[in-house]
Amino acid sequence: MEKISKPINKYLKYALIGTITGIANGLFGSGGGTIAVPAMVHFLGAEEHKAHATAISVILPLTVVSSLFYISKGYADWGLTSWVTAGGMAGGYIGARLLNKCPGRLLRKIFAIFMAAAGIRMIL
């Protein structure tokens, strides 16, 4: 019985983290990484760098699904989308390069500061 319950618990954690991340991404337009990264580190034991890289990989299909819904409802501003996408691609490249150079402990602190600042900004 023990051998069966451990894999089931592991897959339930995966599914729960994915579901919560997907809901946050669809509801807020982003934010999945703020849930996925800490969840993968604390509940799945993932190493900090792998959690960040994996979160990006997970968020891509979530964003595609959410985008299709928003586009079908006419919510997308294509002018804004093109400019922000161009900047986002450049920033994504720079961020991915920096991830390889950033120690896990520093990465965790920067991520925490970013999440706290975003939370404070949303409250005010």
* Domains of the chain by residue range: 2-123
pLDDT of residue 56: 86
pLDDT of residue 83: 95
CA distance 8 to 55: 22
pLDDT of residue 73: 93
DSSP letter at 73?
Answer: T
| Segments of the chain with pLDDT less than 50 | none
pLDDT of residue 122: 80
CA distance 108 to 1: 37
* pTM beyond 0.95, yes or no: no
29: left (phi over 0), alpha (psi -120 to 50) or beta: left
Structure confidence by residue, pLDDT tens digits, 33-69 = 788 889 999 999 999 889 988 988 888 888 888 889 8
